[in-house]
Structures are given as C-alpha cells and as structure tokens.
Amino acid sequence: MPTREVDLLTDMIRLYSPSGEEANIAEYLAGELEKNKFEVTTDKIGNVFGKRGSGSPNLLLCGHMDTVPGEIEVKLEGDKLYGRGAVDAKAPLASMIMGASKIQEPKGTIILACLVDEEGQGKGVKQLIEDEIQTDYAIFGEPSRTWNVTIGYKGSLHLQLKCNTPTGHSSAPWLSDNAIEKTFEIWKKIQEKHFREENSESRFYSITSCLTKISGGESSSMIPSECIAEIDMRTPPQLSPDSIFSRINEFIDELNEESKDTKIELKYLGSVPAYESDKRSI
C-alpha cells in the first residue's frame, strides 16, 4: 500500500532530472518543503534549501536532485520502487525530507539542502562550500547502504586522450598505424602498467579507470587517422588528481618522443579530490 513517503519518492522519480535539467524537480521540492513549514530559498545555481527551527546545534541534511541520463519506467512492484534515481539518490533525499518534516519542534536548526549537478562537475556542493553555510553536523544522503557510516569518498579525474596518425586505404592496413587501435593500445598501457602498485591494498585505496567514450575514423574505406577517447579515473585519498595527471602526461610525452608518425595528446577535463574522515570523528 503506497504511503506518503512512497508517494513523495514516486513523484520525485517521475520528474526526469539529469544533471543540468533539475528545474522541474527543484520547483516541486520547494513546494513540498513550503507545505511542511520550511523556510525555503534557492541559490544562484539552483540548489534548494529548506530551514526549520533556530539556534544550535545546526544539522545539515544534504542530498542531490540530479541523476545520470537515461529514463527508466517508473513502477512499484510489491515493496520495490523502480525508476531513474530511485537509489542514486532520490530515495535518500526523500527520506531526509520526510524525516525532517516529522520533527515538529526541532531542538536547534535543521537545514535541508537539495543540490544540483552531483553527477556532473559537482557545481551544487561547490556552491554550498563557497557560501560557507554554518553547521555543527552533516549527513549526506548517498546509496552507501544503511548498516555502516561512510567516512570516505574517492576522487575523480576526467581525461581526454587524442591520437592522430597518417591515413591510407583500409585495403592496406599495414601501411599506417590505426588511430583507433593506437588509442586503445595506449589506454591499456595506462590502465595495466602505470598504476599496478596502487591496486593491491583495496579498491578504495586504489586507482580505478574506465574508458567511457571513444570515437574516430573518417570513412569505412580509410585507415582511421584520428581517435578521441574519454577516461574516467577514480582516485584514492593518498594520491591527488594532479599528481596522477602529471604521471600519465609524462608517459604520453615519452610515447611522443618514441613515435615518428603518431601524435598523442592528453587533455585534463576536470577533477574532484578524494576525501577521508578520521574514524575517531564518528
């Protein structure tokens, strides 16, 4: 049987909100917060805030409204609700909204933050930090399960790898390097050889990488002369994204020195540093 909590989450999931398209869900949540007697504000980039109570302590409840792209049919089957964002992370945000709404007279101040662009470049949380909201405690709603407290998050490093080679007719592929094959070859070297020593302790303290986009080639009858790939790396606390980028860039420089006909470029697209709290702070 649907409840008020399930109805709220269902409404939120039905509002398709990939990063950069959060306006509709932001308007909806602002209305819901107002109905529940929150003092509602929206900042310059679209983050929605609800405030209840006054004085200390200040508790920040923070979640994000955006999702990754791609629509999934919204359906309730038994006690399971399916749809884009059901797990990451509209359910945690809905639970914080409902939980905070049920506290009639808070002993302190509750600040509920509904952020934008978490799945993108993190514009929402960056604005939150820039605005220096004062809080004594903070809970971030993420799909990190319910039986442990998450004290760390890996960082990210987004790179573009571009490879240019001479071209020729595809009937004679031995005459020239293939830009697509060369790009993949370089990617495998980056993945397998240059960070093996960091991958032994655990997944959290290791560098992981994923080839997320690749495009290239000019014609079905030509040896590809250009290929562009994007790489998403997840970085541990002990290594900064800048240090990892520098190491890969040095490797690319070495490859360019060795190669006469192939030109390789590495471009930095963005990064977020990793973070780990002291276990003693829990």
- Out of 101, 129, 150, a domain closes at 150
Task: Establish whether 118 is a catalytic residue.
Answer: yes
Supply the range of the domain harboring residue 143: 4-150
pLDDT along the chain (282 residues), means of 10: 86 96 97 95 97 94 96 92 94 95 92 94 91 91 80 91 93 90 92 65 83 93 95 91 93 90 93 85 68
DSSP H helical ranges for the chain: 4-14, 23-35, 91-101, 123-130, 179-193, 241-258
Fill in the amino acid letter for 134: Q
User: Is the peptide bond preceding residue 172 cis, with omega within 30 degrees of 0?
Assistant: no
Of the listed 117, 118, 119, 177, which one is catalytic?
118
User: From the candidates 22, 32, 66, 117, which is the catalytic residue?
Assistant: 66
**For the domain that residue 160 is a member of, what is the CATH number?**
3.30.70.360
The count of domains in the chain is 2
* Residues 13 and 139 occupy one common structural domain: yes
Residue 72 placed within a domain: yes
pLDDT value for 282? 66
CATH classification of the domain holding 53? 3.40.630.10
User: Do 176 and 248 have their domain in common?
Assistant: yes
Last residue of a domain, one of 150, 179, 200: 150
> Which of these three, 120, 150, 180, is where a domain ends?
150
pLDDT at 195: 67
Whether 112 and 33 have beta carbons less than 8 Å apart is answered as yes
Do the Cβ atoms of 198 and 236 come closer than 8 Å?
Answer: yes
The reply to whether 282 falls in a domain is no
Q: What is the pLDDT of residue 202?
A: 75
At 261 the pLDDT is 86
pLDDT for 280: 76
